[in-house]
Structures are given as structure tokens and as C-alpha cells.
Amino acid sequence: MSAERPRKDYRKDKQIKIHQPDADKVDKFNPSNQIYVRAVEGMWTTLRRRMGWIAMLGFMLLPWIPYGDRQAVYFNLAEQKFHIFGLTIWPQDLTLLAALLMIAAFGLFFVTTYLGRVWCGYTCPQTVWTFIFIWFEEKLEGSRNKRIKLDKMPWSFNKLWRKTAKHSAWLSFSLLTSMTFMSYFVPTTEIYTEVFTLQASGLIYFWVLFFMFATYGNAGWMREIMCIHMCPYARFQSAMFDKNTFIVGYDTQRGESRGPRSRKADPKELGLGDCIDCDLCVQVCPTGIDIRNGLQYECINCGSCIDACDQTMERMGYDKGLISYTTENKLEGKHEHVVRPKLVGYGITMVVMCGVFMLALFHVDPVRLDILRDRNQLYRETDAGLVENTYTLKILNKTEQAQQYHFSANGLTDYQWIGPKTIKVDAGKVYTLPISIAVDPYDLKLPITKFNIKVIEENKNKDVEVEQETRFFGP
């Protein structure tokens, strides 16, 4: 089916009639309208596939990398420890994780301001997994036209086995994705062994099935609905865009007025631009938009329409680049500004935060000391006439080996330490140590004296010291 509607010729002030493709009539905001993505080859498609493979293989293989007696990346929620190769992050160090997420956010802002939504088009898991599922679709159901025809056909053995094979492949890959994701929280060999031998707990089976069907629904059924209706990034990206941001853009001045013609025909004699209205740019778009309608928030900058258009231009003998990565200023014939205040601001903020993060990372103490005072009694007087305060020390060994710690008090004169002054704490354990400190009341100048309790980790390489301030109460 085709329809006719007037389009304005941007080079001549007149109304002309041109072909209107079916894709323009599809309501892309209606989730019930299925988009059949056409396969395309080209430079940007190849780049996207390779980056997708890198991202997917990194996700799949990372849990299998060993590091000592555990896997290299392991988020142990039960013991509240996050292992990333030689780094162990405890709940007390989650400010580092928050800082890392902030760095990632400003990095995304910087890249978006400069290159548009390349994150969505090349590395977003939704996009990567969607194209993997489309690949299964093409291999089992055929090309775009064959898939459309197959869906319109009545049910038969051919349609049944193709649909069954496709959904089986989707569910199998979703299960692999779910198991891989769970491997970051449960030891890899343990989860695969227990799940497939039916020895896993009900909680693990619940999360495996949950993430499996979430992947199956997102990449198999929802696809562009996630990008158009649910992704918050698509909504606030316009705050980072400006007229110098690189976008996938259609050269209206060169392409309009669009219309079909033979290869030998001279478009100027026909009063046409370079766009032959083949509709391939719409057919290859994973979100089903027509890039010729201008900048749209649904565009994920994947470059598929660029590859499709370049192939058409090459077949027609025209110059490539009718659709390209460009800027609004360039399309309007204005000067481009690569360096601009917003981009510089994002860059400086990201560099500063990276520096602060690295500084904090290299100064993470391998031991943590928390001091709790006895709240039932401020102080008591001993039979020897000394003033005694009671404390509870909590020592967390944040290393992977057992450590020996020695305690002392700084800021009190001639004190008595009542309790062990040297202890040994196993790796990753918290040791609770009740102690008392007694002082002669004649040595106390004030009713409340501030002092520090110091813990020293006796290490072969160097001694690590951590101090915590507390208070001593007297008469």
C-alpha cells in the first residue's frame, strides 16, 4: 500500500507530490505495532557488532576468571564483601562505589554532549541483546520480508517449528544470561552445578527464572518499547544535546525533494534531490523511526540507517553521506564548535572526580576501628581510687589474610589498659574486644578528655596505623 501526500520542496517554494512509504504511517508509539528490522551491512554496523561482542564476551567470561582461591569479580552479599580482583570493598567503603557511579554518570554526560547517544547504539545491554535476538530471528525465520510473510500465514508445520525454534533459542540464551548474571553473586561453579543438578535453593531458582524471563521479555518482545517508553536516558538526553552534538542526521537540502527514479535519470531534470525514497533507512532502524523527519529522541545513534543509505547512494552513483554522523550546525551550514563550555565543564568534573577517586582508593585502610562507649555508666571509681571508663572496640580485618593488631591510647597520661592489647583477627572478620581504661583523677584536667585509641597492624612490609577519637569522662 502507498499513499500520496504533499511535501514541501526545500529548494523551491512549491508543493509537489511524492511517494509516502508505509513505514511513515506506523504509529511508533503504539506498543502493539511490531517492528521488523532489516539486516544491513556497513562500517557502522560492523563497528557496532564488534563492540557488542566485546561487551557481551566481557560480561560472559568475567565470572570465570580465577583470582587466588576465588573468582576475580565476586559480589558476596552474604558476607557484605565486593571482590574486584585484588580489591575488596566493604559496606564501610561504599562511598567509593558511589563515587564510581558518579564518575560513570559524568562520563556519560560528556560522551552524550559530544557524540550523542552512542552509548545506546553501541554498548547498551538492551541494544546488544536486542540485536542478538534479531540475529536468531533472521537465522530461523528468514529475512525481514520472509518474517512479515510468515507472521501473516496461517499456522502450519513450517511456521510452528520455526517459531518454536526461535523462542527456544531466545529462552536458552536468556537462561545463559541469567546464570551469568547470578554468577557475579554466587560462585560460578557452584551455581551451575547446583542449578542443573536441582540442588540449589528456592531463592536462587527464583532469581534465575526472574532474570531469564526479564531478558526474554526485554530483548525478545519489548525491544524498542524499552528505548521509547521506559528508558529515562532517552527523556533527559535533550538537556545535554546542543547544536554541536554529533547526531545521525539527514541532509535535507541535498535529499529533498525525494522520490523514485532510474539510475540513469538526472535528478535535477526531475526536480528531485538525492533521496530516492527507498525506505531502507526506516526498515533497518531498530526503533522504527524515519530519520528524515529530523532529530528524534527515539534515535539511538546506532548508524544502521547510515549504512543502508550509503549502500543506496553507491548503487545510484551518488556521493555517500546523505545520512551521516553530523551536527545541527553543519546541516544548517553554520560553523561547528567542538570545544564549548558545557563539554569542558563535564570533562573537568570527570577528571577531578577520577583523581579524587584514585586518591581515596589508594588510601583505603586495610583495618577499621569502631569504638562504642558504655552508655550505662559514664565512669566509675575503682578500689584503688582510679577513674575507669569502659569501651567496646570493633576491629574489622579488611584484608584477605589473618592479621595481628596492637592497641594503645594517645592523649592520656599514665593510664592503665585493662584487657588484651594484642589480638589476632581472621581474614574478613570482625573482632569485638571489651576493654577498660583507668586514669588517676589528679591527671585529669577537665571533666571530659578527648583522646585517641590507636590500632597498629603489624605487617611484614609496613605497619598500618588507624586512630579513632573518643572521650574519657571523669569527676
Q: How many Cβ atoms sit within 10 Å of the Cβ of residue 208?
A: 19
Residue 238: pLDDT band with limits 50, 70, 90: confident
Q: What is the pLDDT of residue 166?
A: 96
Domains within the chain, CATH numbers bracketed: 34-239 (no CATH), 244-331 (no CATH), 367-473 (2.60.40.10)
As a whole number of Å, the end-to-end CA separation of the chain is: 96
Query: Which of 52-61, 304-313, 459-468 has the lowest average pLDDT?
Result: 459-468
Query: Which of 11-25, 88-102, 112-126 has the lowest average pLDDT?
Result: 11-25
Does residue 468 register a pLDDT over 70?
Answer: yes
Exposed (0-12), middle (13-18) or buried (19+): which is 452, by Cβ within 10 Å?
middle
Distances (CA, A) of 303 to 37, 124, 140, 376: 13, 14, 25, 69
Query: Which of 36-40, 78-82, 432-436 has the lowest average pLDDT?
Result: 78-82
Higher pLDDT, 114 or 7: 114
CA distance 52 to 133: 13
Q: What is the pLDDT of residue 179?
A: 96
Residue 461: pLDDT band with limits 50, 70, 90: low
CA distance 208 to 185: 12
Higher pLDDT, 229 or 351: 351
Residue 254: enclosing H or E segment and its boundaries? helix 252-255
Torsion over CA: 10, 15, 21, 25 (sign): positive
Kindly write down the DSSP assignment for every residue of 259-305, as one continuous string.
----TTS-HHHHT--S-----HHHHT-TT---GGG---TT-----HH
Q: What is the pLDDT of residue 27?
A: 55
Higher pLDDT, 17 or 107: 107
Does residue 1 register a pLDDT over 70?
Answer: no
Instruction: Tell me the average pLDDT of the chain.
Output: 87
Nearest to 459 by CA among 396, 370, 367, 371: 367
Residue type, position 36, single letter: Y
251-283 pLDDT tens trace: 999 999 999 999 989 998 999 999 999 999 999
133-146 pLDDT tens trace: 999 999 999 999 99
Nearest to 298 by CA among 134, 120, 128: 120
* 417 three-class SS: strand
159-187 pLDDT tens trace: 999 999 999 999 999 999 999 999 999 99
CA distance 227 to 238: 15
For residues 81-85, give the mean pLDDT.
85
